[in-house]
Each structure stands twice: as structure tokens, then as C-alpha cells.
Structure 1
Amino acid sequence: MPRRNSSATPPPDIAEKIVDIDVSQEMQGSFLEYAYSVIYSRALPDARDGLKPVQRRILYQMDQMGLRPDRGHVKSARVVGEVMGRLHPHGDGAIYDAMVRMAQPFALRLPMVDGHGNFGSLDDGPAASRYTEARLAAAALAMTADLDEDVVDLVPNYDNQLTQPEVLPSAIPNLLVNGASGIAVGMATNMPPHNLGEVVAAVRQLIAAPETSLDELMRFIPGPDLPEGGKIVGLEGVREAYATGRGSFRTRATTRVESITARKKGIVVTELPYMVGAERVIEKIKDAVGARKLQGVTNVQNLTDRHHGLRLVIEIKSGFNPEAVLEQLFKHTPMEESFGINNVALVDGQPRTLGLRELLQVYVAHRLEVVRRRTAYRLARATERAHLVAGLLIAIADIDEVIQVIRSSDDAETARARLMSVFELDEPQAEYILQLRLRRLTKFSRLELEAEQDELARRIQELTDILDSDERLREVVSEELAAIAAEHADPRRTVLLERPGGEAVGASAGKASGKAGSVPLEIPDDPCRVLLSGTGLVARTAEAEAPMRSGGRVAHDALTGEVPATARGHVGVVTSTGRLVRMEVIDIPGLPPTSGPPSLSGGIPLSELVALDAGEHAVGLARLEDDAAPLTLATARGTIKRVRPGDRPGNKESWTVISLEEGDRVIGALHSGDEDQLVLISSGAHLLRFSASLVRPQGRSGQGVAGMKLGDGVEVLHLAAVAEAELSAAVVVTVAGTSAALPGTTAGSAKVTPLDRYPGKGRATSGVRAQRFLRGEDALVLAWAGPEPARAVGSGGQPVELPEIDERRDGSGRPLSAPVAAVG
């Protein structure tokens, strides 16, 4: 058999199909096609509904399957199969992973899928799709609402057999609320979640005033709101991201220092940074301790459960400063993480980097278009129905002739034509009459049709007004967003701090010593002052001078108590039940040094440092030194008591400083010397001033003496102590209202009067009148006395303007612009 010549020329038909291709051009083209597919079909969300294609297809298919919140769960594998077979030309793993993320409350601020079963945690993955079940969450219904009313365009699926929405109607601003993350080719997106109520408020503001600036929008959206809470420290990166679309911020765990045993302190972690799990933190702590980067930690326990949530207890060695150890934890473990914001999303099919205002503008334009299209669709349906009802009423009015025309016609086509000719109907009306059922020929049906005709006319006019007026269209969109926020919004979980606390002191000294594990973690025991605000925040200053002398103002709040202390010392918190609770000054966050008045925006709620019982609240601060002036307490029933300094039971964390009668409570606590003047103000608008020397100091078990004589239903509101030399510089603030109104619902009237206008009286008397009530007022709801000038704040710390000084002792007050929560 002859051998075939390998160099022989192939047949002409085969040679013509061989094409020379440049490899570099082929690779470039293929890569661009791949990059395009990843960017537009997989990795980046649409700026309108905030969803990637796979997420949009999951929600749409689940809606088509009827998996609503009021129905039962179905197997996740069934959902994945339907999505993969009908809409998404990729593997089941990618679909299930996307659905799992939409069901995880720690990943999304507002989950879109209601998962039943093991959908994973921050430390572990989910169970397989055959073991879990799912249905739509309530919020997802707002994402898919009105899809059957031509509100968005439908596009073919991957095999052109079915259609799917190009974008969801998205009555929820999902992109900002739930954030997004994705890595494409040459670009990526990473957006943090936000609070639904805050975002809706900003959207409504932009709808009402399209020219609203970024600074004004940030009054509504001050920063991200992460699903697991935590704290964001340093907001400059957030502002930069809102302005340019790129920035970063640091998130910190929420912690507090507690007594693990009688001699050992511990740091309790109740919230972790975004997407950080407890097991990962424990692992990093152990690694840092093993590498001798972290000093002072003896043990870590994970006490998290379903009932109490996250609780990570980090035990501190005796003699180590918990605050300094906490700073080391922030430095060496994921208890402090950085989040890089990169707001990249698809706008008109193009990837763009968007600031906060641009993101809101895109969403507003989308919702306006959705509502406009929905209104046009409903108007067309209502107009069509009104047209048919008008024809039906004509037929019912002369039904005998209609029946005669139909019966005498040879076929339906002839009957239709004759009806159109005889009764001047058009073809749709005539066809509708031919399909009329005999039961619709009753007198009652005619009344129903006339009522329906009137309702359709009203509806058509309403829909026409919306389409003809851009202002009315915007009102509809704004009202719908308000309803969404009322149904799904919840309070903010993440605390925003302008700046972090101080760095751990002594780190450099430890390196200089050259001794491993000898890093000093104690801060200097410098003098400071502990401050308590009217809204329950506590902080300490770095200076020993009183901060109230610099204009008497504290930004965003009012001071209601202050005591001198040292950084490593202790102060007492006096509560309404007559307890004094010891509090370590080092646990209180320090305010940054400032040349002006201090701001308590760097403070923390007192409840994070002191465990209070239900219904118990702090009424003042106390010094614990033996050389302190006597502690003076006043109760609501008019009892007053001065406790001898140094009278405390050893090293107990709390003890009773006054024995209260049943139903009585402490309303104020402060230190006063014998030369001071004590001031008591009652809800009956009386003020009593007498010398503190009239009250002899007692021991802890004493019940005190009569301080102020009260009438029926009257109680003491405020206790103050003013030095004799400062009487001329002190003022009295009284706020009157009605006792029948709920606190904080009515503004009432206020009066500011110099304290020296009120004469001194004897102890156990009723004093003198401090304010005359206006019509509708029957009691004082708030009172304060202290150095001028006074500052009033609302429940959120916002300032409330007080009236000018009124020299009249018993004059009436002037109306306030807003309710007052505290004066200081």
C-alpha cells in the first residue's frame, strides 16, 4: 500500500476555510468580551434597584412562584433549579450563594429572603440547598411590586424563550440600604449598608427639593448603619466617599468593661465590625498573645447564644489597664477593621463611580419613571373600562331592543354590526354587549354600573392629574416611600464617632525597655473632671478645671453634673433608688483637648458603664474621697439628707446612701458645704432656699430630714447647691406644662429669673412661688438652678432656645419652640 505524502496540498474546499488570525488580537477581543460579560452580567449592581442580575432573577422568579411571606417555605434547591432553568445561565452554586447572602441578617441591613434552616454565620458556611428552605421576605414584596403594570421593560432570557425585567421597580432604595460588593475585571464595587429610615428621609428631601446639597443630605444620612451595629470612628472618610464615591472608614467593636470576679476585670464585646465573626477574633487574639504583641489578656470566652446575642468575654490580668488593653486589641485584632468605600454601579448600562447625591438622584429618577408608567397603565385600563361601562349602560337602558336586534341577526358578526349601527356603539362596546350574561340585566346591576362609572370618572381624573403635574407625581412617590419606611425601618444600630479615643499609653516605653512582656499599660493618674449630661452621656476631661466656666455651653448637650477626679480613681453614681454605684474613671472615655467648650459627642451612655435596674436612673455624681464635702440628696417627697464623707462599706461596688419610704425616689444628688445655699424646686411652682448648715450630716442608714413642705400631688423636681458668693450670678429656669400630657409631647412655657430674687426661708417650709401658670398649665415639668448662662436641650441633645431673663419672681413663662428634656 503506497504511503500518503504528508506535504500534499489539501483539497480546495478545505484550504478555503483556514483563516490566519493574529493571536494578540484574538486574545484582546476575547478578553474584552469576557470583561464585558463580568461587568454587566455578574459583578456590578444596577444603580436603580441595587441588584446584580443573579439577585434580580432570584427575586423575580420567587415572586413568579408565589413564594410570599404569608405562604410556606419551599426547598431552596427548587428555587435554585427554577432560576437556573428559566433565567440564569450559570451554575447552581452561584445562584444559591447569592440567595444565601440575601437571607443573612448580618450581611444585609434589610434581608430580601426569609430563610428557614442553616443559612450560615460569620464563621461557618450554610447547609446545602437540599437542606434549607426559603421564601420572600416582606421587604422583597416592595422590590417586585407592580411588575404586572408595565412599570419596567422586559427583556428576553438567555434562550429567548421567556422574558425577565431589565430592572425591578424597587420601592426600597436597596443599593444604599443593603450595600453591595463585587469584583469585576478592572474594577470593583464595595458599598456599606445604611439605615432605611435615614435613606428614605434623604430621598424625600431630594424629591421635594432637587437642588438639595450634599451637606444637607448628610443631615439625613450621617453615615453607614451596619447590620451588626458596632461603632464607626472617624467620619472624614465617609464624607469623602459621599462626595466622590471613594473613601474609607474604620469600624470598631462595641465593648464595655465589667467585673468578671471580685478582683478581675474583663472586656465584654457585644457587637463586632461588619462581617467579622467571633471565632475569627478569638483566633487573632490567641495569635497576638502567642506572638507577644498583646499583653494583659488571660482568657477569651465566647458566650454567644440566641437569647442574648453576641457576648465575647476577654479576661484582663490583674494590674493591667482594661482601656489600654482594649487599644491593643483594636490594633492587633479584627475588633477594629477598615472598610473601603467604592461606589461603582451601572448607570444607563455604563459603570460609574457615584457620590451620595448622585446615587439618590438615580434612584429618584427611577422611581419617578416607575410611578409614571404605572399611572399611565392604570389610566389606560380605567379609561378602557369606563368606555365599556358606558356602552353597557346604553344597552341596559333599551335592553328589549338590544335583544331583538341580536335575535333577528343571522350570526354574531351581523349582530355586532347592527348593534354598532342602531345604538352608535364602537366594536369593543358591541362585542362586550354580545358577551353579556343575562344576570347582568337586573335593576340592581344598573345601579352598580352607574356607581362604577362615577368611581371610574373620579379615578381617571386622579390619574390624569398625576400625569399632568410633576409636583403631584413627586408627592405620590414621596408618600409611597414614607409608607415603606413606616413599615420596614428600624432604629440606627451603628454609633458614629467623629474621632477615636486616645491611643494606648506606654507602648514606646515598653520597646525601649527591651524586656519582653513588660509593656506598661497604665495611664498617668492625672487630675480630670467627670461630666454627666442631661441626655445621659458621661465623659471625662483631660483638664482639672471646671468646663462650665467657658460660656457655660457644651456642644449638643447640657451638663447636669460634674465632679473632680483622677484618671485612675473612682467616682460614684447616685441613682433614683438611693444607691451609690462605684464607677472607675478610667472606663469613662476622655474628651479631646480643646480651647473652647468641651463637646460630649465623644461621651458614651452611662448605662454602658453602670448596671441599672429597671426603672432606675442616675440623678448625680459623687466624690468618694474622705475630704470631700458632704453628699446632699433630695427626694421627690421633700426629704433632704447630707451624708458624711468617707462613710462607705469597704470595697463594695454599690451601697445605699439613703433609706427611702415606699414610693419615694431620689431626684438629685450633689456635694455641698455648710456655707452653700440649698435650693429645692417643686412641681407646684414653689422654690425654697435655705442654708446647707441647717441639715446635719448623717450616716448611710439615716432617712434624712424634712426639706420642703409639699401639697397633695406635688413633688420636688430639682435640687441645687449654690455658694453664697455666687448667688448674684445664678439663675433659676422653670418650665411649666400640663401634667396630663405625656413627657416630651408639648413644649410648654419657660421662665429664667435671677436666683437672688427669691428670698431665703427656713427648712421644712413651702418656699415662695417661682412661676405663674398660663391657661392650660397646672404644674412645673422641669426646673434647674445654677450658674448663668443656662442651656436647654431636647431629648436628642439638640439646643432649645430659652427666653431672656425675667426679673419678676412669680411672673408667667414664655412659650418654648420645642420640648425641653434637660437644662444645665
Structure 2
Amino acid sequence: MSRTPATPPAAFTERIEDVDVSTEMQGSFLEYAYSVIYSRALPDARDGLKPVQRRILYQMAEMGLRPDKGHVKSARVVGEVMGKLHPHGDTAIYDALVRMAQAFTLRVPLIDGHGNFGSLDDGPAAPRYTEARLAAPALAMTENLDEDVVDFVPNYDNQLTQPDVLPAAYPNLLVNGAAGIAVGMATNMAPHNLIEVVGAARHLLAHPDATLDELMEYVPGPDLPTGGTIVGLSGIKDAYLTGRGSFKTRAKVSVEAITARKSGLVVTELPYLVGPERVIEKIKDGVTSKKLSGISDVTDLTDRTHGLRLVIGIKTGFSPLAVLEQLYRYTPLEDSFNINAVALVDGGPQTLGLRELLSVYVGHRIEVVTRRSAYRLARRTERLHLVEGLLIAIVDIDEVIQVIRTSDDTEQARTRLIDVFELSHIQAEYILELRLRRLTRFSQIELEAERDQLLAEIALLEELLGSKQAIRTLVSDELAAVAEKFGTPRRTLLTEAKPSIAGAVAKRNAPVLELTDTPTRVYLSATGRIARVDLAAIEPTADDPFDPDALPAGDAATETGDAASAPRTRTVPTQRRSKHDAVLSTLDTTSRAEVGAVTSRGRLIRFTPVDLPVMPPTSIQLGAGVRVADYLGLTDRSETVLALVSLESDRSIALGTAFGTVKRVVAGDWANRPDFEIIQLKPKDSVIGAEQGTEDDELVFVTSDAQLLRFPAASVRPQGRLAGGMAGIKLAADARAVFFTSLAADDAETAVVATVAASSHTLAGTDPGSAKVSEFTEFPAKGRATSGVRAHRFLKGEDAIAVAWVGPMPARAVGPDGAPRTLPETGARRDASGTMLEALVGTIGARIA
């Protein structure tokens, strides 16, 4: 008997659809590309973070891993992030965490790592061996998240929420850079200096129509974590204009004497992301293949105390500079960095220039501050509403209690309170939950004070939200506070030097390179920064004839002729003068000449100004220079650079010390070493001033007890560099010399004496003291080793001269931060009292113009 097969249930009915493979592949690929671009590889232009980085910082903030808390295992952080926010594998999360902790990768690290987080040549330890917590700058990235400053979005399983972007109190994308490879696009951005980037952002806030050139006055170029030197700035400007460009970075290398008969190249800074082992390997390969010649050995003396130090020995008979050019050509001592500034803007990838990057960030911060202010206004308005209700209840407390006691239930009590006292539903509910201990007279006083404070805060917030300019000002002030807290000096030097020419030399088989040596002026600022101006870029034209009489002080450019001709000078056109700081010392030399820096320890340090930051002659900005202590590698913070001197001049160097000793060092008596002593100092003595001059000059001392002594330099016979000098000024008990200089005869006629008196019994920095400015000709000349004449009459409470300066007028005073300070008008009697200052003066120097 045949049986008919049963019909399968509807749920199991077979359904086959024909799908075009090409269409399916296109759709799947686009979904994958979208995921990689938006969720993994590209940073957001607002906070400069990729999703994994943002999730790590947010989750660590939620875990309470603040800088003042202990470190926790990195594996724990990785597990929390992966389980709650980022289900893409622990390896990707740990790699991102490690990068944010590496000081050689980020300019401002966001993670404080404990343990082996790797190096430029080695990877990190496993996450079970390392520990981490948030670094202080990361708090500025995540602050105010609880005040509705950004939108929150669901996590991958819709169980939790996470911020769509972080508030980012500073422009993290520019400061720390970014690197990532997406589908069909990539991003590669260089780190920058926080102080410079904030300065540009604040300028854009104040001047929304600012041009790229104006912004580049604040951000002249990248500032790499490992220092080094950027060679050529044209590629940087292209990148800032279009978002695409490239530049070359070089290691910081100096020629030093390794032994008495052997010199070598000492590498103390490497290009960005280049490790010493890679350099050593390339040098060995170059020597083996005979691409490199003249190298005897390579020694790695790097340690945690002194930092990077590679010593490359040079064979006898080879020029160290020629060998260095070959190293730039064939090793990573010179490396390229390609900028491709691609970031997400409004959910889409865009290539952005410097102005666009700053504009996106500034717009983000304006939105954050606006939302934060609106949130705070709403919270304070709600609280004021409750406080007003409580004050009503406390005034009629007996009646309130009677209403509540005679009510049958809570709902009736709430309704009657609303009707009797004209309260809102929220106020009535709050009164019903009120604790009896709040019903005291003292609580009423506290509530009234709180009400007044809330009213004042609400008025300020309403005023802020009603003014776009006020919000922009607040954003600018907050940026300035972040820069002051987390900013550090520039590490990377910017030069206009040409790329390596070793290849061309090798083709000609030239044994020694001839390097361009151009006239330059080196400036040392009063706050310890050094930079130079290329004098070769200043050429007279028919429209700008040479006029020596029109030359302002400090802006003369020397035109070199034959040896017999006198130096000629012309006016340097200056469109924008230095906005802060003052000149301590100026030296006209050439870019590759050896010059000397005299320090307070009585040392003379040789250096070549070729690697100094170059300032345009039309916009001299001393703040754009590099810290001279960093440039010369001074490790002792108490040692300061006092003056710049020429090692090729026939003029002697005059020195004055705090103990009143004076010395003139014989010109040309220089040791064949990178640094050497030029005066034998007594214990606890220090050099307070140095100047190069002739025996026709006048030497000047100013002491802490307000005595000034001027005497002819001819009364001090020149001595060798190992001598200890002779008596310069007779000091009273407990007095010390605070200033010394040498004045040429012409300068003495127009010089001024600026003194600032203060009290040694008050806390440093709290009392600005008094200042006066007198003409130098008011002070009579005396003999050497005498006590001089009084230069300042102390006011009540004053007992010492804190700052003094003698030089060509006008004098420029600056604060400890380099900000300008106002001095009294010139013309006070030499022994008069000073005029009270409004702000503290840190130092005094000359003006650029």
C-alpha cells in the first residue's frame, strides 16, 4: 500500500535565493571598509583619538585609575575594556595602551606605565607583567564627562554607554600626532609642542580670520618626542596648507675629542621612531659594503642617567663633517617623515591643514564649554528652586508641621503644602523628605547664603551663555591654563639647512666637503632661550638703500667685506617685534663658526650655531628659540649661560664674580676641548657677568647693598684662562655683586642703570619691590678695588638689590615667564629711591629694537 509523504511544516520550508556574487562582494567589502575607517584606524579630529584609545581612557577613568592612585595590572585594564567596550581582541587593546604610555612615541603621554613598556628597538613585556594608570594630561582629556559635555552612544551589545568623543582640554591630535592604515586611505601626523599649539588655538579664537602664516608664527613646525633636528621647512608649510607634505629629520650630532689624538661623532638625539640598534646595524652594513669610510668603531654608551649617547670613532685623516654627511646619506641618522593629515570630521574622513585642524578643535571646545555651562545653569536653577522652597518651609515651620500632621497620607500632605504655601510639586516633595535637624536657625542662614551664591552663579552663567565672545574667552583661558600646567620646552630644532650632499660628493670622490658658511646673528634672551637670524637673507635693494644712520640699536646686520674695510650696517626691516623677553647677549658670526658660551660656573662651552632655530629678520621672536641649557646639554640647573663670545676675535673676555673678583682673559687662550674653565673660582663663588671687549672699555659692578663701581678695563691686566683674577670691587660684609658688564666708550654715553630693590625677609616672588632708572653718566668713575658709589636708596622694608642692569637705553624688564614689565622713566638721581612696581621683575636686558 503506497503512502503519500507528509508535507513539511511551514517553519522548515526550504527557501533558496539567487544572489549575484559581485554585488555581495561589493556590499561586504564596503561594510568592512566602513568599519575599519570609522571604528578602528582613523582618529577623530576633535579629540585626536581612535576608538580603542578613547575607550581605554574612558574605562580607566571609570575604574578610578587616577594619577594619585596606585597602578593596576595592564591585563586588568585590557580585560575591562574588551569586555565592556571594545570586543576586538586583547592584543589590539594592549598595543594601543602601550603606545599611549611611551614617552618616545607621544609628545604628551596619556598613560603612566610601570614596568617594561618597550623601547624603540624592543617590544613591551606581556600585560600580566606591566602596570598602568592614567597620566595627569589624560585627566584633562576626560574631565567634565559627567556634565553632559559630549554625547554618549551604546556599546557593542547595547548594555552600556560610552562617549562618542572626549572633551579634550587641549588639541591632542596635533600635540601627539596619529598613525593608522585604513582601507584605501591612511593617516600619519607628527607630534607638536603643546605650548605652541595652544598659542595658535588661542590666536584663532581671538582672530577667526587668522591666516596660515599667522598661525605658523606660533607653530613653526613639529616638535618630536625624541628631539633631533628638522631640516628644511618648505615641506612643513605644504603640509600645514594642504594636509600633505614631508620633511627630513636629522640626529643631533656633535664633534668631540674622544682621546687626545682622536675625534669622534657623538649622537645624543635620533630622528623620530629611530632606535640606536637600527643605526648601529646600518653603520656596520655601510662599513662592510664600503659605502661608509673613515669610521673606526661605534660604541653605545646609552644609559638611563645620561640618556642616548652613541660614539662613532673617526679614523685619522678623515674629516668628521664629511663622514657625518655620509652617515646622513646611508643611515637613519637622517630620516624622512611624510605627513598625511587624514581625520574624521562630522563622521567622514577629510584631509586637513593646520588651520582646519585647529578650527575643528576650537569648534569642539566651544561646544563643550557651552554644553557644560548650560548643564551647570540647569543644575543650579534646580537647586535654587529647592532652596527657595526650604526657606519658605523654615519661615513657617510650625504651620508646615501642622499641615503634615493633620494630613491622612503623603499624597494629601503634598497637595495641601502646594495649596497653602504655593509650592511646586518638586518643592513639596523635597520638604516632605526633609530631616528635622535641618530646621535650625543655623540651617536657615546657610540656605540664605547658598541662595545668594546660586543667584550670583546663575547670573554669571546666563551672561556667559548669552555672549559668544565670553565663551571664546573662557575657552582661551582654559587652554592657557592647560598649557601652563602640562607644557614643556621645544625639543626639536628647526633649521633651513639643505639635505645631505654626501651622494654628490661621493660621485666626485672628494675627500673633504666644503660646507656653506653664511653670516648670522645669534641672540641669547634674558630668560635663557637662544636663536639666530640669517644675515645673508638681508640684501639692500633700490627701494631700501643702505642708511647707517637709520639703524636702530640691536637690528644691525653686518655686511662683511675685505679685511681692511670697516663693517657696514643697514636697517633690518621689522614688521613685528618680539612680543616678550629681552636680549641678554648678541653675537655676529657665521653659521658654522665655533663660538663660545660663558656660564656662571666659569666655563666656556664651544658650539656651532648652524642647528639653532632660525628667526626671520622681519619677525624676530625670541620665544621661538630653544632653551640654551638644553641646546648645550647643561645638566646642572644652577649653571646658567651669561654671554656669547667669539673664539676668533682678538678681544679679551671680561668676567666679574659674585665675590667681587674681576678678570680679563687673554684672547685666543682657548683649550682644544668642547668645554673648559676660563677662571679659577673660589668655593661658592660664581660668575655674574661676562662681556667681550677692549682695554678702552669701562667695567661696571653693581652690588646687593646698592653700590655701583665703574673703572677702566685698562686697570685689569689680561690673564691666562687658568688664572683666578684680581680684586674688582670692595664688598661690605654680607654683600655680594649682583651684576657685571663691560661698556664700550660710545655705549657709556647713552647707557642707563636700572635697579630693582626688594626685601630679603619676604617670600620670594610676593613683593615686586621698587625700581628706578638713572643715566650712567650720573655715576662717577672710581679706581679698581674700591667700593663705588650708592646707586639706589632703599625704601622702608627694602634691604637688597634683587635685579640690576647697565647697558644702552632703553632697558627692557621681563617677568620670570618672559612677559614684559614696565620700568619707571629714565632720569632719576643716582642715589634716589625707586618707584613701586606692580609686578615682579625677573630680569632686565636690552630690547631688540
TM-score (norm 1): 0.79
**What CA distance in whole angstroms lies between the structure 1 residues aligned with 2:128 and 2:616?**
64
Residue 187 of structure 1: aligned partner: 185
CA gap 1:656/1:70 in 2 versus in 1, 3 angstroms:
closer
CA change 1:185–1:446 in 2 (3 A) is same
- Alignment pair present for 1:781 and 2:804: yes
Separation in 2 of the partners of 1:548 and 1:751? 31
Distance 1:648 1:388 in 2: 80
Question: Contact 1:576 / 1:619 at 8 angstroms: preserved in 2?
Answer: no
1:393-443 alpha-carbon deviations (Å, 9 max, x no partner): 333333344334333333333333333333333322222233233333333
Cα offset, 1:121, TM superposition: 1.5
Instruction: Write the distance in 1 (CA, Å) between the matches of 2:303 and 2:355.
Output: 40
Aligned: 1:223 with 2:221: yes
Q: Please say if 1:678 is aligned against 2:676.
A: no
Shift of residue 225 of structure 1?
1.8
Judged with a 3 Å threshold, the aligned counterparts in structure 2 of structure 1 residues 561 and 545 are, in CA distance, closer, same or farther, namely farther
Counterpart code for 1:125: G
Pick one of 406, 417, 420 that aligns with 1:419.
417
Aligned residues: 786
* Aligned ranges 1:166-245 → 2 under 5 Å: 166-245=164-243
Which residue among 105, 119, 126 is the counterpart of 1:107?
A: 105
Equivalent residues of 1:50, 1:173 under 8 A apart = yes
Match of 1:516 in 2: none
- Mapping of residues 244-259 of structure 1, within 5 Å: 244-259=242-257
Could you tell me which of 121, 124, 129 is aligned with 1:123?
A: 121
Q: 1: distance between equivalents of 2:723 and 2:672?
A: 18
Residues 1:520 and 2:542 are matched in the alignment: no
Report the Cα distance in structure 2 between the residues aligned to 1:646 and 1:685, rounded to whole angstroms.
33
Shift of 1:700: 6.6
Q: 1:473 to 1:502 in 2, by over 3 A?
A: closer
CA contact (8 A) 1:732 1:783 kept: no
Structure 1 counterpart of 2:752, from 731, 734, 741: 734
* 1:573 Cα offset (Å): 6.7
1:442 to 431, 440, 451: 440
Taking a change above 3 Å as real, the CA distance of residues 772 and 549 of structure 1, as seen in their structure-2 partners, is farther
AA aligned to 2:512 is L
Structure 1 pair 612/541, CA: closer, same or farther in 2 (3 Å)? farther
Is the contact between residue 231 and residue 273 of structure 1 (CA under 8 Å) also seen in structure 2? yes
- Determine if contact 2:524/2:643 at 8 Å carries over to the other structure: no
- The one-letter code of the counterpart of 2:379 is R
Question: Cα gap change, 1:504/1:735 in structure 2, threshold over 3 Å: closer, same or farther?
Answer: farther
Deviation for aligned residue 1:349 = 0.9
Paired amino acid for 2:307: G
Aligned to 1:7: none
Q: What is the one-letter code of the residue matched to 2:806?
A: A
Unaligned runs of 5+ in 1: 1-9, 514-518
> By how many angstroms is 1:689 displaced?
7.4
Q: Which segment is superposed worse, 649-658 or 367-376?
A: 649-658
Kindly provide the amino acid, as one letter, of the partner of residue 97 in structure 2. Answer: M
Distance 1:335 1:465 in 2: 56
Preserved contact between residue 292 and residue 327 of structure 2 (Cα < 8 Å): yes
On the 8 A contact 2:653/2:665 being kept in 1, the answer is yes
- How far does residue 699 in structure 1 lie from its aligned partner after superposition? 6.3
Do 2:85 and 2:162's aligned partners in 1 also have CA atoms closer than 8 Å? Answer: yes
Per-residue deviation, 1:605:
4.8
Task: Give 3-state SS (helix, strand or coil) of 2:282's partner.
Answer: helix
CA shift in 2, pair 1:380/1:364, >3 Å: same
Q: Which amino acid aligns with 2:755?
A: G
Matched, 1:589 2:610: yes
2:489 is paired with a residue whose SS is: coil
C-alpha distance in 2 between matches for 1:749 and 1:771: 10
Alignment-derived partner of residue 42 in structure 2: 44
Cα separation, partners in 2 of 1:92 and 1:144, compared to 1, 3 Å: same
Question: 1:288, CA displacement in angstroms?
Answer: 1.7
Map of 2:138 onto structure 1: 140
User: Is residue 384 of structure 1 aligned with residue 382 of structure 2?
Assistant: yes
* Superposed displacement of residue 800, structure 1: 10
**Closer, same or farther: CA 410–277 of 1 in aligned 2, 3 Å:** same
Instruction: Specify the alignment match of 2:845 in structure 1.
Output: 821
| SS of aligned partner of 1:821 | strand
Residue 279 of structure 1 pairs with residue 277 of structure 2: yes
Change (3 A) 1:750 1:412: closer
Distance 2:822 2:225 in 1: 39
CA distance in 2, matches of 1:367, 1:820: 38
For the residues of structure 2 that align with 1:190 and 1:12, how far apart are their CA atoms? 56
Further displaced range: 708-717 or 92-101: 708-717
Q: Residue 497 of structure 2 corresponds to which residue in structure 1?
A: 500
Asked whether the 8 Å contact 2:755–2:803 carries over to 1, the reply is: yes
> What secondary structure does 1:270 align onto?
strand
Deviation at 1:389, TM superposition (A): 2.8
In the alignment, what sits opposite 1:91?
Answer: 89
Kindly name which structure, 1 or 2, has the bigger radius of gyration based on alpha carbons: 1
Does the CA contact (< 8 Å) of 2:493 and 2:626 recur in 1? no
1:310 Cα offset (Å): 1.9
Given the superposition, is the C-alpha separation of residues 658 and 790 from structure 1 closer, same or farther in structure 2, using an over 3 Å criterion?
farther
Q: Within 1, Cα distance between the matches of 2:428 and 2:655?
A: 90
- The answer on whether the counterparts of 1:688 and 1:767 sit within 8 Å (CA) in structure 2 is no
| Equivalent residues of 1:320, 1:522 under 8 A apart | no
Secondary structure, counterpart of 1:436 in structure 2: coil
Superposed displacement of residue 279, structure 1: 1.4
Assess if the C-alpha contact under 8 Å between 1:642 and 1:696 holds in 2. Answer: yes
Stretch of structure 1 that moved more, 268-277 or 444-453? 444-453
The structure-2 alpha-carbon separation of the partners of 1:416 and 1:466, relative to structure 1 and needing over 3 Å to count, comes to: same
- Is 2:359 the partner of 1:361? yes
Q: Secondary structure of the equivalent of 1:738? A: strand
1:702 CA drift (Å): 6.5
Decide whether the 8 Å contact of 1:635 with 1:668 is kept in 2: no
Distance change (3 Å), C-alpha of 1:592 and 1:249: closer
Against the structure 1 CA distance between its residues 823 and 70, is the aligned structure 2 distance closer, same or farther, given a 3 Å change threshold?
A: closer
Alignment-derived partner of residue 18 in structure 1: 16
What is the deviation of 1:554?
A: 11
> Equivalent residue for 1:490?
488
> What's 2:540 paired with?
none
Alignment of 1:543-562 (within 5 A): 549-551=568-570
Cα distance 1:752–1:603, how it changes in 2: closer, same or farther (>3 A)? farther
Is contact 1:388-1:428 (8 Å) kept?
A: yes
Q: What letter matches 2:569 in structure 1? A: S
Partner Cα distance (1:559, 1:451) in 2: 54
TM-aligned CA distance change 1:150 to 1:762, over 3 Å? closer
> Residues 124-172 of structure 1, C-alpha deviation per residue, up to 9 Å, x if partnerless?
1112222222222222222222222222222222222222221122223
Give the match's secondary structure for 1:17. coil
Q: Secondary structure at the match of 2:391?
A: helix
Cα distance in 2 for residues equivalent to 1:594 and 1:121:
34
Measure, in 2, the Cα distance between the counterparts of 1:191 and 1:123: 21
What whole-Å deviation, never above 9, does each CA across 1:514-566 have from its counterpart, x for those lacking one?
xxxxx613658x99989765448598999686896323879989795769999
**Structure-2 separation of matches of 1:68 and 1:343:** 31
Deviation of 1:325 after TM superposition, in Å, equals 2.1
Paired with 1:178 and 1:592, the residues of 2 have a C-alpha distance of: 22
Structure 2: state its 5+ residue gaps: 1-7, 537-559
Q: Which digits, 9 at most, give the CA deviation of each residue in 1:291-327, with x for residues without a partner?
A: 2222222222222222222222222223322223222
User: In structure 2, how many angstroms separate the alpha carbons of the residues matched to 1:428 and 1:643?
Assistant: 85
The one-letter code of the counterpart of 2:144 is D
- Matched residue SS, 1:589: helix
CA distance in 2, matches of 1:558, 1:460: 48
Q: What residue is the counterpart of 2:546 in the other structure? A: none
Q: 1:53 to 1:212 in 2, by over 3 A?
A: same
Alignment of 1:323-722 (within 5 A): 323-497=321-495, 499-500=496-497, 508=504, 510-513=506-509, 520-521=511-512, 523=514, 533-535=523-525, 549-551=568-570, 583=606, 589=610, 605=628, 615=639, 617=641, 619=643, 621=645, 654=676, 663=685, 665=687, 667-668=689-690, 670=692, 672=694, 677-683=696-702, 692=714
Shift, 1:376, TM fit: 2.1
